[in-house]
Amino acid sequence: MKRILVAILLNLIIGVQVADLRAESATPASVSDSKRIAVEDFFRTPNLINPVLSPDGRFIAVGVAKSRGRVQLVVFDLKESNSDKIVASFGDADVIDYHWVNTERLVFSVMDLQSGDSPLNPGLWAVNRDGSDYRKLIHTVKHPISMAESASVVDRTLPAEWRFHSTVEDDSADVLVQAPSFNNVGQLVNINLFRLNTHTGRTQNLSANAPANTISWLTDQNGQPVALSTRFKGREASYLRTENGWKLWKEAEEHSQDYAKPFWTGPNKELIVLARRQSDTLALYEVDPTTLKLADKPLISTPGYDFNGQLVYDTQAKRVMGVHYETDAQGTVWMDAGMRALQEQIDKLLPGTINRIDCRYCASTTTFLISASSDRLPPVYYLYHRENKKLQELGASRPWIQAAQMGVRDMYRFTARDGLSIPVLVTQPPGKSILPRPAVILVHGGPWVRGTHWLWERNAQFLASRGYVVIEPEFRGSTGFGSKHMRAGWKQWGLAMQDDLADALQWAVKQGWVDSERVCIAGASYGGYATLMGLVKHPTLYRCGINWVGVTDINLMYSINWSDASDAWKQYGMPLLIGDPVKDAQQLKDTSPLEQAARVKAPLLMAYGGRDLRVPLKHGTAFKDAVSKTNSQVEWIVYPNEGHGWRELATNVDFWSRVEKFLDTHIGPNLTVPKISATASKTP
């Protein structure tokens, strides 16, 4: 195992050559105002979603959108024409997250993608590929009324709180499911693991003698637990299963990312964990099965990036074939010579895109599923037939999107004012421009996530299609770029995190891309907070702001007891990452948009969801009431049935149409604007 995986390390240091892909792509064409792509085309449901090959490579399960946008599950027999079979379809829900249990049977869950106030939980169903033996395994509604009318009727459908965990690679009809436990105020405290037979609904508890406060499980190919992680009072810990039971192995502060998290286990008790050891970034390390010691050197490392990916393991051949990963873009390194040659053949047939090969029995199958995509092209799906070396197109996820009409996205790095290197993804509008263009600083939510990826992204592409340069900084506090980058954002809401956004704009202006007099800042959730603080702290940089579902006051995050923030998060997470409401009271006041509302003079668009539990509507109404006292240029909208973000197509069309009009009014490409301030310095 070690000898093979070390080869991956050497390949990943080279990195994916995104520039090579762009060099082979056509120059995007400009789009005139009269030929603007319709707003709904960016936000409607894809035609095809996530096709999945059966283990034997003969069948494909895929989500297909019906005429009204509902996603149904369809199975195709690749050896017979006109063999499509709808195996699951609902009038009020969309099929999501489907998996092959074996070559005959599938499981799937649902979600209402068209309603922000849907009461549905994901649930779980099983069905054969021909549509037979259909069985509901997990309810979608809490506390459903039983249909059983006598004691002789046994209903084994599990409670709606349960969730699918994973399939089992033993050719059985079983899957693994998770059973969460909650405290008296409805907050998660523990997750147990069960094996579930998809024909009978019978379960087997796999959690015997497991430690309390378990929040994740790692199992082997036969579905047996080998490792788990716990979380309690601001600490996370990893346990390994030994002959004598569960053994505490590593523990650390919850948000430090300093402990080793179980990642993958092999058929011979190989254990690989995600950890930091010799570098700032997360990498994969092998654990000695006898001593349980972490190896000194990583098996897989992606310098400059925390490892994010998965091993491709062939359960028939019983070996690791390669690894999917993400650095500046997604890529794959194959250790198997045959798969490496196959990748080269496919890349020659599909130049200009990243072509991901998916297979379960990679060494023996003759048919492979290919997903081809880029920054300007939503996924297009193909089959590749090894015998004749030919591609067969299955279909495009969004056939109405033309790559030549999309903006080009590039990842860069700039140096912040304190010397920290900050990644930033920039989307340039279609066509070339001699003059600088108007821009939107688009701030991701979280904020402790990686906010950008080199792929087609609907918000950025919509804005670029309207003529705006879209700048998406991975400001300090963002994850995915190492511990130093993430920790630099601790307690920096409205401070250094905010400065990173201003520095990103100044950098883009220096590149000659952006007209500094026509810039708007925008974002959702934390991005909404950063929008408001940008207008407070750097009023000479931004002509306008767009905040949707944004935090407006950190103290409200502590005091609103009907939000979905847990007591543990408020007690251990927020004081560490954002600020303590007592010890840091003055800082939280100084960095509160609500407290500083009178300083916001620029035009502002605000939108909130009436059913938002992450950032309750109170955040929006409190700020609206405060800012409207001194600012008459505030546009306000509430979508009563939406939550933390927009699900309904009608909501997206309405909101982004408002955004389009708002931007055109204040920084539009064809607009001549006066200087924001004729005397104020542009240096924040």
pLDDT digits (tens, 9 = 90+) for 477-497: 999 999 999 999 999 999 999
> Could you read off the pLDDT of 199-252 as tens digits, one per residue?
999 999 999 999 999 999 999 999 999 999 999 988 999 999 988 899 999 998
> Could you read off the pLDDT of 380-419 as tens digits, one per residue?
999 999 999 999 999 999 999 999 999 999 999 999 999 9
Residues 6+ apart with CB under 8 A from 207: 192, 193, 194, 214, 225
Highest-pLDDT range among 15-29, 407-421, 550-564: 407-421
User: Is the pLDDT assigned to residue 465 strictly greater than 60?
Assistant: yes
Q: What is the pLDDT of residue 308?
A: 96
Tally of domains in the chain: 1
User: Is the pLDDT assigned to residue 438 strictly greater than 50?
Assistant: yes
- Identify whether 573 is part of a domain: yes
CB 8 within 8 Å of CB 335: yes
> Could you read off the pLDDT of 503-524 as tens digits, one per residue?
999 999 999 999 999 999 999 9
CB 214 within 8 Å of CB 190: yes
- Identify whether 445 is part of a domain: yes
| pLDDT > 70 in the chain, percent | 92
Residue 21 has phi, psi (to 5 degrees) of: -65, -40
Confidence of residue 605 (pLDDT cuts 50, 70, 90): very high
Average of per-residue pLDDT values in the chain = 90
Q: What's the whole-number mean pLDDT along residues 541-550?
A: 98
CB 61 within 8 Å of CB 51: yes
Q: What is the pLDDT of residue 19?
A: 42
Confidence of residue 254 (pLDDT cuts 50, 70, 90): confident
User: Is the pLDDT assigned to residue 267 strictly greater than 50?
Assistant: yes
Q: What is the pLDDT of residue 26?
A: 42
Q: How far apart are CA 636 and CA 633, in angstroms?
A: 10
Of 274-288, 600-614, 664-678, the one with minimum mean pLDDT is 664-678
Q: What's the whole-number mean pLDDT along residues 131-146?
A: 83
Note down the domain range covering 636. Answer: 407-667
User: Is the pLDDT assigned to residue 8 strictly greater than 80?
Assistant: no
> HSE-up of 323 (CA within 13 Å, CB side)?
25
Q: What is the pLDDT of residue 414?
A: 98
Find residue 180's DSSP bridge partners: 191
Q: What is the pLDDT of residue 671?
A: 80
- Residue 549, class by beta-carbon neighbours within 10 Å (0-12 exposed, 13-18 middle, 19+ buried)? buried
Of 243-252, 558-567, 602-611, 620-629, the one with minimum mean pLDDT is 558-567
User: Is the pLDDT assigned to residue 29 strictly greater than 50?
Assistant: no
Residue of 581, 529, 530 whose CA lies nearest to 555: 581
Q: What is the pLDDT of residue 333?
A: 95
Q: What is the pLDDT of residue 117?
A: 67
CB 342 within 8 Å of CB 358: no
> Could you read off the pLDDT of 323-367 as tens digits, one per residue?
999 999 999 999 999 999 999 999 999 999 999 999 989 999 999
DSSP 289-326: TTT-PBPSS-SB--TTS---EEEEEETTTTEEEEEEEE
**H/E element holding 123?**
none
Q: What is the pLDDT of residue 115?
A: 78
- Identify whether 286 is part of a domain: no
**H/E element holding 93?**
none
Q: What CATH number is attached to the domain comprising 573? A: 3.40.50.1820
DSSP 386: T
Stronger pLDDT, 81 or 665, i.e. the higher one = 665
